[in-house]
């Protein structure tokens, strides 16, 4: 097995962990509010990363702390919208597919930062738009509030990725991850006490999804991502990560016994196809050994 293939397998494992994480996030909503869940899981993930940071990165520096503070606020809104959307739709499959649109939205939003967007991205966006209609509200017009929240979540995740790209060259990755998770946890804690009835019994009742989301999805998966993405091209990484939507749908069916109807799965296939199509230009550039222009990178 080549080095790139080995690290690609690690990224696929990361996508699997995040996909199953949608199931854990849905299960948690049976016990507590979205803000309470985010406060506990991101706080747990941030704390779990500290020993790894002290060993691998020898602590935090000013640039990492500053970036973590700023991007942590963005993470708070992304995670809140995602969790609220999962609670409102009651579907890990819908949530996974719709959230996966951030892969398409990232280069589209990049237009506002002077980056070019290729025709394959627009084609992917068209496919995904049809997919959203099928998966969001089959047979009816309009979207419910849960789907709107997930669409907004995908936009904010795209902004989150662009923000990370802006700071990537000046930060320590693990310290940055811990810092942004800590900020998200702090904001979520404040929101939970304002908007929700926080009870310790709720948290203990949902300890299994909390442990999975905090220790596995945040601590383990983010660490695997940081290590593996250094050895895999960004375009390939993006396509591998798009598999989390597929794993989310499969996990919900196998673990919770919850299935979408036929039109829902057609929508999921269209969204997934749009995600893959949007990455074709990147694969072509990598195969040719160069990018078409600096703005397309």
The structural domains of the chain, with segments of one domain joined by +, span 3-91+144-261
List, for residues 70-123, the tens digit of each pLDDT value: 999 999 999 999 999 988 888 887 888 888 888 778 778 877 776 666 777 778
Q: Is the pLDDT of residue 283 over 60?
A: no
pLDDT at 182: 95
List, for residues 189-239, the tens digit of each pLDDT value: 999 999 999 999 999 999 999 999 999 998 888 778 877 877 776 656 766
Q: Is the pLDDT of residue 285 over 60?
A: no
Distant-in-sequence, close-in-space partners of 197: CB < 8 Å, separation ≥ 6? 33
Two structure tokens written together for 256: 């919770």
CB 237 within 8 A of CB 230: no
CB 162 within 8 A of CB 101: no
Q: Is the pLDDT of residue 295 over 60?
A: no
pLDDT at 120: 78
List, for residues 249-264, the tens digit of each pLDDT value: 888 888 877 777 787 7
How far are the Cα atoms of 31, 79, 80, 182, 246 from residue 133, in angstroms, in the given order? 30, 23, 23, 36, 18
pLDDT at 181: 93
pLDDT at 143: 62
pLDDT at 275: 75
pLDDT at 293: 35
Give the burial class of 5: count Cβ atoms within 10 A of its Cβ; 0-12 exposed, 13-18 middle, 19 or more buried. Answer: exposed
Distant-in-sequence, close-in-space partners of 274: CB < 8 Å, separation ≥ 6? 101, 104, 123, 124, 125, 126, 127, 128, 129, 131
Distant-in-sequence, close-in-space partners of 149: CB < 8 Å, separation ≥ 6? 81, 82, 84, 85, 88
- Percent of the chain, pLDDT > 70? 87
CB 80 within 8 A of CB 35: yes
Task: Say what the pTM is.
Answer: 0.80
Spatial separation of the C-alpha atoms in residues 100 and 245, rounded to whole Å = 6
Two structure tokens written together for 17: 């962990």
Query: Nearest to residue 99, comparing CAs of 128, 119, 138?
Result: 128
pLDDT at 82: 92
Least confident of 64-68, 76-80, 293-297: 293-297
pLDDT at 183: 96
Average pLDDT of the chain, as a whole number: 82
Q: Is the pLDDT of residue 140 over 70?
A: no
pLDDT bracket for residue 243 (50, 70, 90): confident
């Amino acid at each position: 097995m080549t080095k790139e293939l080995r690290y690609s397998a690690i990224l696929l494992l990361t996508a699997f962990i995040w996909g199953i994480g949608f199931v854990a996030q849905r299960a948690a909503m049976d016990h507590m509010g979205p803000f309470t869940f985010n406060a506990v899981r991101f706080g747990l993930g941030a704390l779990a990363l500290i020993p790894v940071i002290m060993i691998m990165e020898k602590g935090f520096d000013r640039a990492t702390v500053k970036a973590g503070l700023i991007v942590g606020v963005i993470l708070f809104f992304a995670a809140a919208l995602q969790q609220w959307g999962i609670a409102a739709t009651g579907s890990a499959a819908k949530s996974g597919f719709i959230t996966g649109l951030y892969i398409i939205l990232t280069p589209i939003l990049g237009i506002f930062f002077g980056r070019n967007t290729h025709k394959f991205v627009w084609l992917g966006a068209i496919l995904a738009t049809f997919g959203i209609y099928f998966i969001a509200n089959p047979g009816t017009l309009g979207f419910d509030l849960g789907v709107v929240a997930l669409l907004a979540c995908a936009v904010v995740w795209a902004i989150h990725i662009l923000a990370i790209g802006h700071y990537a060259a000046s930060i320590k990755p693990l310290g940055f991850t811990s810092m942004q998770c800590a900020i998200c946890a702090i904001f979520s804690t404040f929101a939970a006490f304002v908007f929700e009835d926080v009870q310790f019994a709720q948290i203990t009742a949902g300890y299994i999804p909390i442990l999975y989301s905090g220790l596995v999805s945040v601590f383990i998966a983010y660490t695997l991502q940081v290590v593996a993405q250094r050895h895999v091209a960004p375009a390939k990484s993006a396509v591998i990560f798009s598999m989390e939507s597929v794993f989310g749908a499969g996990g919900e069916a196998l673990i919770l016994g919850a299935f979408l109807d036929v039109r829902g799965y057609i929508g999921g296939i269209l969204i997934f196809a749009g995600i893959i199509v949007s990455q074709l230009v990147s694969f072509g550039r990598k195969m040719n050994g160069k990018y078409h222009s600096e703005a397309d990178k």
